[in-house]
Amino acid sequence: MHQERGRLHRMDLDHRPPPQRPSTSYTSLGLLRTDTKITVACYAKNGSWAHIKVRSGANSGKTGWISAYYISVPMQLD
């Protein structure tokens, strides 16, 4: 995650796969701390949003959309 905190936005859990149109018009499900662990399930077509599952912290277990701006992927060197 970037230094700023990200907002996790609600998704409609009745849809599989995730809804095609993530938006900030949904109610926020909470904030994610910088060190929050997540699993990215997919990205929206334009790549600016990611559908995630939170794996650590206060929002652990929640799923939703987050702006891809707030996601960082650490490099693993062998």
Is 68 in a helix, a strand, or coil? helix
Q: Hey, how many other C-beta atoms are within 10 angstroms of the C-beta on 71?
A: 17
How many Å separate Cα 74 from the centre of its chain?
Answer: 16
CA-wise closest residue to 69 among 48, 38, 46: 48
Is 30 in a helix, a strand, or coil? strand
Residue range 27-63, pLDDT digits in tens: 887 888 888 999 998 888 888 999 999 999 988 998 8
The domains of the chain are located at 6-70
Residue range 1-25, pLDDT digits in tens: 333 355 655 544 444 555 557 888 8
